[in-house]
Amino acid sequence: MNNDGKGGLGAVLWDLDGTVVDSEPSWFLAETTLIERAGGSWSTAQAIGLIGSDLNYTAEVMRQNGVPGTNEQIIDDLMDIVIANVVATEPWKDGIVQALTACHQAGLTNVLVTMSWRRYSEQIPRLLPGLWDVVLSGDDVKVGKPDPEIYLVACAKVGLPPARCVAVEDSPTGIASALAAGVPTVAIPNIAPVPPQPGLSRVASAHELTVDVLRRIQAGAVIDTVAN
């Protein structure tokens, strides 16, 4: 792991769903399937509202909409559908494999930081072997995004202060978590709108996340190439 004392970029902290993997449609399908099995209906707006959320919160919302079972049972059912779809299709976001590879080749530490549980998140290093150094999942922390805990834990795991990392996110929930932890953050807007805000960089796709751009963001630059 790159934890030298030079003060520059040492690690890139990647969100999973909607950032590394185009899995939001799989989550929408899973949520809709469980709700419809229970005789209810599920809207796109409701699904968007759960993007980036702690899975226990998602399970509570499912229960409020009539889905039977404990939180763990509901989460397992959701993940069964999502894992099957992601493993079968490997829907990587545009440019993400190239960006991860470039960071790895530059000696940066790639960290997966997701609110999805480990049973799902551990599939990603298997599908992209050799590119990941650390995986942190929602079941590794007590409080989910937008709380900063998972990003603070990620930084501690790689032995770096937040200021020496860059977080890559797609949702307001994840962005709030990373910024609250003091991690320089770049958003790749996906399904949920990401309005501009002070200190937040935005790019249209991972193709723009060269190592040089990530280093500039870590050094304090705000880069915004997303049309409003």
Record the pTM: 0.87
Question: Mind listing the pLDDT tens digit for each residue in 106-159?
Answer: 999 999 999 999 999 999 999 999 999 999 999 999 999 999 999 999 999 999
Asked whether residue 2 carries a pLDDT value surpassing 50, the answer given is: no
**Would you call 1 exposed, middle or buried from its count of C-beta atoms within 10 A (0-12, 13-18, 19+)?**
middle
pLDDT class of 6 with cuts at 50, 70, 90: low
87-112: b (≥16 Cβ within 10 Å) or e:
eeeeebbebbeebbebbbeeebbbbb
> Which token pair is 206?
């991972």
Question: Mind listing the pLDDT tens digit for each residue in 151-206?
Answer: 999 999 999 999 999 999 999 999 999 999 999 999 999 988 899 999 999 999 99
Q: Give the type of residue at 225.
A: T
Q: What contacts 161, CB < 8 A, 6 or more positions away? A: 155, 182
Asked whether residue 228 carries a pLDDT value surpassing 70, the answer given is: no
51-72: b (≥16 Cβ within 10 Å) or e:
bbbbbbbbbebbeebebeeeee
> Which token pair is 15?
């969100």
Packed helices 55-64 and 71-89: angle between N→C axes, nearest 10 degrees: 110
